[in-house]
Amino acid sequence: MVTTKKISLQSKGHCDIIDITPEVEQKLGETDISDGTVTLFVTGSTAGITTIEFESGLLSDFQGMWERNVPTDIPYKHDRAWGEGNGYSHVRASLLGASLVIPFSDKRLALGTWQQIVLADFDNRPRSRQITVQIMGE
Amino acid sequence: MVTTKKISLQSKGHCDIIDITPEVEQKLGETDISDGTVTLFVTGSTAGITTIEFESGLLSDFQGMWERNVPTDIPYKHDRAWGEGNGYSHVRASLLGASLVIPFSDKRLALGTWQQIVLADFDNRPRSRQITVQIMGE
Amino acid sequence: MVTTKKISLQSKGHCDIIDITPEVEQKLGETDISDGTVTLFVTGSTAGITTIEFESGLLSDFQGMWERNVPTDIPYKHDRAWGEGNGYSHVRASLLGASLVIPFSDKRLALGTWQQIVLADFDNRPRSRQITVQIMGE
């Protein structure tokens, strides 16, 4: 069985990190599937999906890592061509990855207590985002 | 239903980034599955798969990020043992990841308009590559 | 068909990299599924899963990349709040990713000869780890 749903949300951009665990669990709860995988995929090339302990200090540490390794204040060729100033956002998104797959069993995701599912929006402006939530199993 | 197919291609190595979206869509079109996931996996330990806006400036920015963060011109212990000089290629591939999972619905992948599926070949020579394309769903 | 299994292991932490390929292949062998995907997911927010050529020089190179890009010796806000000193471990884990999906066909994983599945434990102490191994297919 396969069910495809969407999570729509509004982000602030600028490395905004949004906990989508409750929405994913809600979508899972709406299905009759008890064992399988949830596949998450964010449409667009300036955001990514991962897991993190959703604690404010750590979110800031994660943002700091991006600033050190894929800085906002160096030249990007993408910006010369397109003038949107979000070359760094694209590079970060490609490195982090647009998809995440999480197994579940008896309707429970394999997440730890301190492990939340997050969208990281790297764009340089607020964005409306669509995340595909596909639930497959039996 | 599960169908397993292969994409074979020739890369130039040296952070060659190849758009494989048309091939993935073609493989999906050859099946009778309308809703499910495409799982992509590159065999080999010096290449990875991700999504990116396939624009020449951005490809160069992505390559620049790899050169800054996993440089070619620092010593790698793998090179001392094996002499192939591609230690950095392995490290990059392990960080980026060999697999990508993309949901589809009504035969349409959840990709954005400016979001292409790419193979990044980090090896230091041209390579023949095999990417497994497994389509699962109903 | 869906089967969910667990791999339990003890890591040393401190960027310990453990080859779990034999355990994954064993779990796959215990099922009646010949074609499909193995989804791996590590519970907890200070470890990740990827593939690498499991060679000691390269493991050291991979560890060196983490030390350069997400260093242990810079301040992390997470550490101020929680005092466990493992802020860097969390950041590394979020970047690498907690899940990996590998297709198989005729019971054979799509891995290359020199491409092993590994758990990277970034925590700053030995840990007991649970990896969910979910096998889906026909």
Give the closest-approach CA distance of C8 to chain B in angstroms: 23
Helices and strands of chain C, counted as H and E runs:
4, 8
In order, the DSSP letters of A17-48 are: EEE-HHHHHHHHHTSS--SEEEEEEE-SSSEE
Inter-chain CB proximity C95 and A100 less than 8 Å:
no
Q: Which residues of A touch B (CB under 8 A)?
A: 1-2, 4, 39, 41, 43-45, 69-70, 76-82, 87-88, 90-91, 93-95, 97-99, 101, 132, 134, 136
Mean pLDDT of chain B: 97
Answer yes or no: is pLDDT of B81 > 90: no
pLDDT of residue B82: 78
Give the closest-approach CA distance of C37 to chain B in angstroms: 8
Place of tokens 């593939």: C51
pLDDT of residue C83: 83
Mean pLDDT of chain A: 97
Q: Which residues of A62-76 are buried (b: 16+ CB within 10 A; e: fewer)?
A: bbbbbeebbebeeeb
pLDDT tens digits, residue range B16-30? Answer: 999 999 999 999 999
Answer yes or no: is pLDDT of A83 > 90: no
> A89 to each of A13, A78, A98, A100, B97, how far by Cα in Å?
9, 10, 13, 19, 19
Specify whether the CB–CB gap between A87 and B60 falls below 8 A. no
CB atoms within 10 A of CB B83: 8
- Give, in degrees to the nearest 5, the angle at Cα B9 between B5 and B13: 135
Query: Residue C92: CB partners within 8 Å, gap ≥ 6?
Result: C46, C48, C66, C70, C120, C122
Inter-chain CB proximity B81 and C115 less than 8 Å:
no
Separation CA B121–CA C137 (nearest Å): 29
Chain A neighbors of C44, CB-CB under 8 A: 112, 114-115
Give the closest-approach CA distance of C57 to chain A in angstroms: 24
pLDDT of residue C6: 98
Separation CA C82–CA C79 (nearest Å): 5
Confidence of residue B129 (pLDDT cuts 50, 70, 90): very high
pLDDT of residue C82: 78
pLDDT of residue C133: 98
pLDDT tens digits, residue range B95-118? Answer: 999 999 999 999 999 999 999 999
Q: Which residues pair with B102 in a beta bridge?
A: B38
Chain C neighbors of A112, CB-CB under 8 A: 43-45
Considering the domain B2-137 in this protein, what is its CATH number?
2.60.120.460
For residue C4, which of B110, B87, A108, B64 has the smallest C-alpha distance?
A108
Separation CA A64–CA B135 (nearest Å): 38
pLDDT tens digits, residue range A104-120? Answer: 999 999 999 999 999 99
Round to the nearest angstrom and report the end-to-end CA distance of chain B.
Answer: 6
pLDDT of residue A82: 78
**Chain C nearest-CA residue for A60:** C77
Q: Where exactly are the structural domains of chain C?
A: 2-137
Question: What residues of chain C score a pLDDT lower than 50?
Answer: none
For residue C77, which of A63, A113, A69 has the smallest C-alpha distance?
A63
Inter-chain CB proximity B81 and C105 less than 8 Å:
no
Separation CA A98–CA A107 (nearest Å): 24
B·C CB contacts under 8 A: 97
- Complex ipTM: 0.97
The residue count for chain A: 138
pLDDT of residue B83: 83
Beta strand extents in A12-126 (DSSP E only): 16-19, 36-42, 47-52, 99-105, 108-109, 116-121
CB atoms within 10 A of CB A88: 25
Inter-chain CB proximity A110 and C43 less than 8 Å:
yes
Query: Residue A2: CB partners within 8 Å, gap ≥ 6?
Result: A134, A135, A136, B35, B36, B137, B138
Report CA dihedral (C36, A104, B94, B97) to the nearest 10 degrees: 60
Separation CA A137–CA A104 (nearest Å): 9
**Chain B nearest-CA residue for A100:** B101
